[in-house]
Amino acid sequence: MTVDTDFKVNLKLRLLLENFSPVSSFDYDPNEQELFLCSGIGKSGALRRLQLSVPIHTLSRTGSIFVGCNRIWSLKTKISNRHHSFLVISYIDSTTSVLAVDQSGNHLTDNTAEHGLLLQQATIAVGLLIENVPAQVHSEGIRIANLSDKPGVVPKTADWVFPAGTKVNTAVVVE
């Protein structure tokens, strides 16, 4: 992938992999021997922490506001940030919630207008490619957004549509 100064993105399909993994989203910290997993659907959905040789521990359960949520990601705006900036929530047919995380990590606010992600399609994967440039894999293609450090600025975006007949069920965006 290349990104030039006018924010034109050149993407090329390099390898097609099939993945039948039952886990739809997870976050792994190599310094800690643990995984954070999103599992379940609707009221039974949960964020779980798996540790080496430790039983499963449920950190939080979703409320009724997230009924129908089938995938969730935390997203940084800069790789060097200690804390994540957004919580992206995807449903079966759309991505309707992007919540901003405050500096303390205790409060979420609606940030649907300033993130640059495509909301009309279900998100399959989302992650940060480079500083302020998240990539969203959705059911019809890939969207790259160039976020601004200034509040209220609408991000520039670039889209790539999958070749005809291609169906993507699982993807990973790696920093």
- For the residues 7-22, what does the mean pLDDT come to? 56
172 band by pLDDT with thresholds 50, 70 and 90: confident
The SS3 assignment for 75 reads strand
Separation between Cα atoms, residue 101 and residue 48, nearest integer Å? 19
- The predicted model gives 118-140 an average pLDDT of 87
Return the higher-pLDDT residue of 56 and 102: 102
As given in the structure block, the two tokens for residue 133 are: 């440039």
pLDDT digits (tens, 9 = 90+) for 60-77: 565 666 677 778 888 888
CB 133 within 8 A of CB 139: no
Contact 138, 153 (CB under 8 A): no
CB 166 within 8 A of CB 124: no
